[in-house]
Structure 1
Amino acid sequence: MASICTGAFVLAAAGLLDGRPATTHRKNSPDFARLFPEVHLDPHVLFTESDGILTSAGVASGLDLCIHMIRADHGAAVANDVARGTVIPPNREGGQAQYIQRPVPDNSMSVVSRARIWALANLDRPITLDALARACAVSRRTFTRRFREETGISPMQWLLEQRVQRACELLETTDRSVDRIAGDAGFGTGAAMRMHFRQSVGVTPQAYRMTFRGQAQPA
């Protein structure tokens, strides 16, 4: 069950959100908090999920929630196809900030987009904050500030999300071992990938692969 924007008020009024995390549009958050004190309201995130009940912030974040649900049910490849078809970002995590200082501009206009493009092409390599800044020909401090302004998250948090996303795609579409995928996605070791993957996705890489491929594969 899911709600978009002020739809969270309906779920809360029905008692479905008591004791659970939830969000709604930040402008409506004060009223929500006053009316439903038993709900763990987080007015700063894009969407929340708890035991099959999901809530999203504004209408745009409702699209992010829909992509998240498609990814959970059908995998990263299908979710990415849907995102491309609807011209929206394929992977904005629920914990990303609702409000960012400046909307993400078109790639041809964005300074830090060059770093994102470069990073995605080199995920299998070690990538440092200094290297990302050099890709934009700006200082580390300027890059960090402008990246957060455009995306609402830090460069390294974004990079980790992209590595997890790459790992998901490889687990779904290849028979490569977890150790090899860890190298291809830039985690370095299988142990590091397992730790970050479970923190982000909620299951082990092996369990994720079995969900989308229906059979055990080499770990």
Structure 2
Amino acid sequence: MNWTQACKQAWNEARQHSVYTSLYIAGVALAIALTMIFGVIYFVKMAPIYPEYNRANTYSIEYITFRDTTNYSSMSGRLGYNAVKEWFYTLKNVEHVTAMTSLGGMTIYSDNNKEGVRMSSKGVDPDFFKVFNLEFVEGKPFTEEEQNLPVAVITDRVARQLFGTDEGVTGRTFKISIQEFVVKGVVKEASRLTPASYSQVYY
């Protein structure tokens, strides 16, 4: 039996048992789809993708627990910035240490957009941009000397919404509430599927 005859016979049998054939094809398609979905989830969550290229060598601490061994009590909470500076900034066996806090959505305003746009924001230190390799479209990260000043790095999408362009916006200002911030740089926006680094405004 040649291939042509085999295909014709298979087609005839499939037509004769259409319900079984449909269920079989649907089952195979579902298995393939689930495999691809899990593969994509694994890739996004684990693989080195923009801007989290150093995932394999990155460690994070969100909460810390204090235990009293005398009365077996414990207390948990987030790390404060002073604790980060005292315990982690002084480590000698790491390349970079960064501290950040996710501040959620905030409405920001500019002279070009007085109605304001709601954007996600993060408070970060200068080493944040060394741990996470955000691609700068223009400008540069703020420095250690500037980290206590009202300066910010924004994404290209935010720049377009605030100023109508993502070029030539370094040095321009925007407001969060009544506080005015100076744009130090513009970065290519990352995906929301990279929550460790994702934000639209970094300051």
TM range (shorter): under 0.3
TM-score (norm: length of structure 2): 0.23
Which entry has the higher C-alpha Rg, 1 or 2?
A: 2
Normalized per residue, the structure richer in helix is 1
Q: Which has the higher contact order (CA 8 A, sep 6+)?
A: 2
TM-score (norm: length of structure 1): 0.22
Normalized per residue, the structure richer in strand is 2
